[in-house]
């Protein structure tokens, strides 16, 4: 029987690459994002190429109850989700006080609350069925504090911590939870978060979204709790374990600074 993957943030970047992988494998794909036009176009392309059953849900997951609504609508449409990819997210590369508070709040609602609620709703259904896999997209930002991108780093630290805990808890019911931690990746993220001109993008090297998604998919299928993408990210994650937190914070501050004019 065909399996079904639900991917949040499937209209571009890493999420779109995940959608292509699942569709190519013959799974049904549920695409979720705010841009209905883009989703419909992607759905048509995937259906035409791979002949599987795909559908889209246009949702702003930062809105109250959006995650629960999505769960109910997916259930009402008769799909049983086997793979949940919590990928939608955004950042904001600015000093904390230079951003509107609403942006910080929206980021927490999308990157944290929606992800947490989707893990709860779909995780519960999966644990009852004793089958399923969840992949949460965090970031290399999960490993330290991040001045000039403070809320984003905090949200990703939350995602990493929650994922590692749920990986242990859900494994008791045969459900795996994988946390994917990429470094700078070529997507719309750089432009949306104004992070593209940062030292991180200049010095860490930029991964291809397709490679990040492939590596995440492999890690999820193996049921690995954590996957760092790229040697640079692995080295950074390793070093942050041994260096003082203050040093890590200063290092992130440098990485989040703009290499041209900050
Ligand atoms: N690119 C990087 O350097 C990098 C590094 C580490 C981690 N990440 C993480 O990777 C994930 C994917 O980002 P990306 O790099 O692929 O960036 P992207 O190309 O900007 O994709 C973000 C996706 O999230 C969707 N989205 C944004 N706000 C949403 C909302 N309120 N409700 C529903 N969907 C929403 C966007 O679609 P719509 O605009 O159509 O809603 C889009 O499909 C994020 O969690 C990001 O934090 C990225």
pLDDT of residue 260: 47
Verify whether ligand 1 is closer than 6 Å to residue 86 (CB atom).
no
Structure token pair of residue 121: 């709703």
What is d(CA 34, CA 13) in angstroms, rounded to the nearest whole number? 14
Per-residue confidence (pLDDT) for residue 205, from 0 to 100: 87
Distance CA 152, CA 103 (A): 11
Atom number, ligand 1, closest to the C-alpha of residue 14 = 16
Q: How far apart are CA 116 and CA 223, in angstroms?
A: 19
Question: What pairs with residue 226 in β-bridges?
Answer: 179
260: in domain: no
- Kindly list the averaged pLDDT for each block of 10 residues, start to end, along the chain of length 262: 95 98 95 97 94 91 97 96 98 95 98 98 98 98 96 98 98 98 94 86 91 98 96 92 96 85 42
What single DSSP character describes residue 49? H
pLDDT of residue 234: 93
| CATH number of the domain residue 25 falls in | 3.40.50.720
Q: Is 262 among the domain residues?
A: no
Considering the domain boundaries, does residue 119 fall inside one? Answer: yes
Q: How far is CA 25 from CA 4, 184, 206, in A?
A: 11, 27, 27
Q: Is the separation of the CB atoms in 131 and 178 below 8 Å?
A: no
What pLDDT does 239 receive?
93
Is 183 exposed, middle or buried (CB count within 10 Å of its CB: 0-12, 13-18, 19+)?
buried
Ligand 1 pocket: which of 40, 89, 93 to mutate (most atoms within 8 A of CB)? 89
Q: What pLDDT does 203 receive? A: 86
- Active site annotation includes 152: yes
What pLDDT sits at residue 261? 41
- Is residue 261 included in any domain, yes or no? no
Our count of domains for the chain comes to: 1
Mutational test site, ligand 1, from 11, 16, 88, 203, max ligand atoms within 8 Å of CB? 88
Are the C-beta atoms of residues 160 and 140 closer than 8 Å to each other? no
Instruction: Establish if 206 belongs to a structural domain.
Output: yes
CA nearest neighbour of 152 among 102, 94, 208, 100: 94
From the list 83, 120, 148, 152, the catalytic residue is 152
Please report the pLDDT score of residue 124 as a whole number: 98
Please give the model's pTM, rounded to 2 decimal places. 0.96
- Residue 8 CB-density burial (10 A; 0-12 exposed, 13-18 middle, 19+ buried): buried
Enclosing domain of residue 194: 4-255
Give the DSSP letter of residue 258: B
> Does the C-beta of 13 come closer than 6 Å to ligand 1?
yes
CA 262 to chain centre: 28
Please report the beta strands in the chain, taking only residues with DSSP state E, as ranges in sequence order.
4-8, 28-33, 54-58, 83-86, 132-137, 175-181, 185-186, 207-208, 226-228
């Amino acid at each position: 029987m065909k399996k079904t993957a639900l991917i949040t943030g499937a209209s571009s970047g890493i999420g779109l690459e995940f959608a292509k992988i699942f569709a190519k494998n013959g799974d049904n794909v549920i695409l979720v994002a705010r841009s209905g036009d883009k989703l419909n176009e992607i759905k048509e392309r995937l259906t035409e190429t791979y002949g599987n059953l795909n559908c889209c849900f246009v949702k702003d997951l930062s809105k109250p109850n959006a995650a629960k609504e999505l769960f109910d609508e997916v259930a009402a449409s008769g799909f049983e989700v086997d793979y949940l990819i919590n990928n939608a997210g955004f950042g904001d590369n600015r000093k904390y006080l230079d951003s509107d508070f609403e942006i910080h709040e929206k980021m927490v609602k999308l990157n944290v609350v929606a992800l947490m609620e989707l893990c709860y709703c779909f995780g519960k259904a999966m644990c009852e069925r004793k089958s399923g896999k969840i992949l949460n997209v965090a970031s290399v930002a999960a490993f330290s504090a991040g001045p000039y991108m403070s809320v984003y780093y905090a949200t990703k630290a939350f995602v990493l911590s929650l994922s590692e805990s749920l990986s242990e808890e859900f494994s008791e019911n045969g459900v795996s939870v994988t946390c994917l931690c990429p470094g700078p990746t070529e997507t719309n993220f750089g432009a949306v978060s104004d992070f593209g001109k940062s030292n991180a993008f200049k010095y860490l090297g930029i991964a291809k979204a397709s490679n990040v998604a492939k590596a995440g998919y492999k890690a999820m299928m193996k049921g690995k709790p954590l996957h760092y993408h790229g040697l640079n990210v692995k080295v950074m994650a390793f070093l942050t374990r041994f260096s003082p937190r203050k040093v890590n914070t200063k290092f992130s501050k440098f990485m989040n600074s703009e290499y041209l004019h900050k």
